[in-house]
């Protein structure tokens, strides 16, 4: 079997830009999400004019390359709220909780990205995360229990495992994609596919291993440093 490992952070703008690629990939391959804790602990940040200028510069580039929209509630609202703490640990816990109770971690990630980058909501706040879980149709009591279970040491272990995987495959940041086939890990350079989810899906389809039938194509195997695309 083949698995696409997705190394992400819920507050990574380029991960939001890659969201259509993740959606397209899920139609042809199992996608396993790994949260990397980009803005956790000492790396949490409050919104400042300097951070806002830095983020907006990247957001403009992301929108240009991917077509992903950044909503007014985010651009003119959240990014101007100096009391907002950007902390990717709580939303990562929410993703783990959604996966644990319903196998919907990636659905939670997609919803959180819209909530943050389009709706300008504070996705580091537990109350907001519970609202989003409810909007996804998850059982709120089960979600709350799973959220508590995956907080603290549990999410820290998950982040550490993700960073170990990043070291193993030579991934330098987020998002990173790693194709695993028969236990072999192959890093994927998605730069050429941003804004082209159908092309990315077609590429994956040509390399997905089908039980009893080998791969769907005869393309050469890539190594962990990248693939010729």
Structure tokens at 50: 């300097």
What CATH number did the domain enclosing 113 receive? Answer: 3.40.30.10
Note whether residue 130 is domain-resident.
yes
Q: What is the pLDDT at residue 1?
A: 77
Note whether residue 111 is domain-resident.
yes
Burial 86-123 (b: 16+ CB within 10 A, else e): bbbbbbbbbbbbbbbbbebbbbbbbbbbbbbbbbbbbb
Closest-CA residue to 175 (of 6, 37, 38, 40): 6
Burial label, 53 (beta-carbon count in 10 A; 0-12, 13-18, 19+):
exposed
What is the spatial distance between Cα 35 and Cα 176, in angstroms, rounded to a whole number? 11
The β-bridge partners of 185 are: 180
**pLDDT (tens digit, 0 to 9) for every residue of the chain, 229 residues total?**
799 999 999 999 999 999 999 999 999 999 999 999 999 999 999 999 999 999 999 999 999 999 999 999 999 999 999 999 999 999 999 999 999 999 999 999 999 999 999 999 999 999 999 999 999 999 999 999 999 999 999 999 999 999 999 999 999 899 999 999 989 999 999 999 999 999 999 999 998 854 444 443 333 232 323 322 2
Structure tokens at 174: 């987020």
Note whether residue 42 is domain-resident.
yes
Q: What is the pLDDT at residue 172?
A: 87
Note whether residue 226 is domain-resident.
no
Q: What is the pLDDT at residue 207?
A: 86
> How many degrees, rounded to 5, is the angle at CA 46 between CA 41 and CA 52?
125
Note whether residue 92 is domain-resident.
yes
Note whether residue 19 is domain-resident.
yes
Q: What is the pLDDT at residue 213?
A: 41
Structural domain that includes position 157: 2-169
Note whether residue 84 is domain-resident.
yes
Q: What is the pLDDT at residue 159?
A: 98
Number of separate domains in the chain:
1
Note whether residue 88 is domain-resident.
yes
């Amino acid at each position: 079997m083949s698995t696409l490992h997705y190394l992400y952070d819920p507050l990574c703008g380029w991960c939001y830009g890659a969201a259509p690629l993740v959606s397209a990939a899920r139609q042809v391959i199992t996608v396993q999400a790994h949260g990397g804790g980009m803005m956790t602990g000492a790396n949490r940040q409050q919104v400042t004019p300097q951070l806002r200028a830095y983020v907006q510069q990247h957001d403009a580039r992301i929108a240009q390359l991917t077509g992903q929209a950044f909503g007014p509630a985010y651009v003119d609202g959240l990014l101007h709220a100096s009391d907002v703490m950007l902390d990717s640990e709580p939303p990562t816990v929410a993703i783990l909780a959604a996966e644990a109770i319903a196998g919907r971690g990636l659905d939670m990630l997609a919803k959180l990205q819209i909530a943050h980058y389009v709706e300008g909501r504070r996705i580091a706040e537990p109350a907001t995360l519970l609202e989003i879980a409810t909007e996804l149709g998850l059982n709120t009591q089960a979600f709350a229990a799973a959220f508590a279970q995956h907080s603290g040491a549990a999410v820290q272990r998950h982040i550490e495992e993700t960073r170990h995987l990043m070291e193993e495959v030579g991934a330098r940041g987020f998002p990173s994609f790693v194709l695993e086939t028969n236990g072999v890990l192959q890093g994927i350079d998605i730069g050429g596919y941003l804004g082209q989810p159908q092309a990315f899906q077609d590429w994956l389809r040509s390399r997905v291993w089908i039980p009893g039938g080998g791969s769907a194509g005869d393309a050469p195997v890539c190594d962990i440093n990248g693939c010729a695309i």
